[in-house]
Amino acid sequence: MSKKYEPMWSSIDTHSAPDWYHDAKLGIFIHWGLYSVPAWAPIGEHYAEWYPYYMYDKGSSWYEYHREHYGEDVEYIDFAGEFTAENWDPDEWAEFFADVGAGYVVLTGEHHDGFALWDSHYTKYNAVEMGPERDLVGDLAASVRDRDMKFAASYHANLNYYQPGFEGRFGHPGFEGAGGDYRSEDAGPGPEYVDFMNAKHRELIRKYEPDLLWFDVPCADSDRVHAREIIADYYNAAAEWDKTVAVNDRAATDARGSHADFSTPEYETYDEISEDKWEACRGLGFSFGYNAAETEEDHLTAEELIQSFVDIVSKNGNLLINVGPKADGTIPDLQKRPLTGLGTWLDTNGEAIYGTTYWATSEDSISDVEVRYTWKDETLYAICLDWPTDDLVLGIEDHVDLETIDSVELLDGDLDLDFDRDGDFSVALPEDPPTEAPAYAIRISDVSGIGR
């Protein structure tokens, strides 16, 4: 009989991230909605998906931009007519994400604008009633799961820009707001809004049985938003579905960093290994939603993406990397290119990533190049972020019995490498790498000593 979770942190905290989540390492985040129509933000100032907030904020760059390009009579809801998804193929998306090497996909089920991407019984403000007139969540969930990836629809309704009953908001047409900032002490959802918000979330969970719950921007504590009830019910439902699932740390202000299966630093990473599971999330550019103003210089290169990913994995993290599709349902080439590079690298080096865990240390202390370590089944992987100009010297002797090491191989080209145990542990590498790559994984087999 499966365990019954109660709506108390003491019960919820006994849950932990499942093996599939630890092993997957890479997820794809997708921010897609009405904000994909204007697709604009001042680069580096804020995210483009916050357009519906700032377009009504007098004095902001968005306010001026909106009036210059659309006129003062165009409301945010009017963008629904241009959010068409006419070129969207969920199978094409899912195939691309699988080729990149993702283990799970998270689509924004509803962002802070309150526009639901599924056929909701609770609001007509959804993608089936207007815009593309299609169940975007359901269609993508089916395509993703057909390719053996996990699926979730993130829910950002803890902060809603427009909803009547959401306290502490500046006014919006049709809503007499209380004034003030949503981050102020008295901000957050009122009781009627909480009931509405949670009814939609429960509907989303019931209809699509997500493999994760991904909340965002907690504006109130768990008592106020009934977060513990949502999480406990989800864990119990997952047992009935015969699924292992996970929940992030953004369900409520008192959950952040303390009551969750994984924490979620945004546009930053950890400097050291965290024994508690974590997930770095960020866009390929400066936004999550599509920002047409961004150029190639504003996006990660494949090299930057791969090296950051390796660093994250070595410290017990996953990477949830975001794509921001256009309103027509296509993913811009500027975003596809670095992801394609990551997928190509993982085709060769995925053994050093998938199913691994952190080691005794994430970085090497004496090597001439930056090295990150991962560990799996008595095998140590040393991932060099550059090609050494001489023999690779690794400071691993404090953590392993060097005499047990049986072989050393470069994954790129399956090259057997000579190694020396006398003094520091050193590996002889060819003068030039087999291929030009952002990182090179070396397999050190039959390692006895400190693992996880």
Q: Which helix (H) or strand (E) holds 94?
A: helix 90-100
Of 80, 279, 56, give the one whose Cα is nearest residue 172: 56
Q: 379 and 304 in one domain?
A: no
Q: What is the domain-level CATH number for residue 418?
A: 2.60.40.1180
Q: 377 and 231 in one domain?
A: no
Residue 425's domain comprises 371-449
Q: 388 and 276 in one domain?
A: no
Reading the chain (452 residues) residue by residue, the pLDDT tens digits are: 678 999 999 999 999 999 999 999 999 999 999 999 999 999 988 999 999 989 988 999 999 999 999 999 999 999 999 999 999 999 999 999 999 999 999 999 999 999 999 999 999 999 999 999 999 999 999 999 999 999 999 999 998 887 765 544 443 443 333 333 444 445 567 888 899 999 999 999 999 999 999 999 988 899 999 999 999 999 999 999 999 999 999 999 999 999 999 999 999 999 999 999 999 999 999 999 999 999 999 999 999 999 999 999 999 999 999 999 999 999 999 999 999 999 999 999 999 999 999 999 999 989 999 999 999 999 999 999 999 989 999 999 999 999 999 999 999 999 999 999 988 899 999 999 999 999 999 999 998 866 55
- pTM of the shown model: 0.95
* The token pair that represents 105 in the structure block: 């996909």
What residues contact 223, with CB distance under 8 A and at least 6 apart?
none
Listed residues 300, 324, 352: the one ending a domain? 352
* The token pair that represents 175 in the structure block: 């809503």
Of 384, 433, 378, 372, give the one whose Cα is nearest residue 406: 378
Gap between the Cα atoms of 247 and 250, Å rounded: 9
Q: Is residue 145 part of a domain?
A: yes
Q: 424 and 379 in one domain?
A: yes
* Domains identified in the chain, total number: 2
Listed residues 321, 352, 383: the one ending a domain? 352
Q: What is the domain-level CATH number for residue 87?
A: 3.20.20.80
Q: Is residue 184 part of a domain?
A: yes
Q: 438 and 307 in one domain?
A: no
Q: 421 and 326 in one domain?
A: no
Q: Is residue 357 part of a domain?
A: no
Q: 284 and 153 in one domain?
A: yes
Phi first, then psi, for residue 257 (nearest 5°) are 75, 5
Position 172: which residue type?
Answer: H
Q: 379 and 294 in one domain?
A: no
Q: 123 and 66 in one domain?
A: yes
* The token pair that represents 268 in the structure block: 């930053």
Q: Is residue 362 part of a domain?
A: no
Q: 293 and 181 in one domain?
A: yes
Q: Is residue 131 part of a domain?
A: yes
Beta pairing partners, 151? 105
Dihedral sign for Cα atoms in the order 78, 183, 32, 41? positive
Of 138, 153, 142, give the one whose Cα is nearest residue 214: 153
Q: 339 and 266 in one domain?
A: yes
Beta pairing partners, 415? 410
Q: Is residue 31 part of a domain?
A: yes
Listed residues 318, 352, 386: the one ending a domain? 352
Residue 432 is classified by DSSP as S
Q: Is residue 324 part of a domain?
A: yes
Q: Is residue 336 part of a domain?
A: yes
Q: 380 and 299 in one domain?
A: no
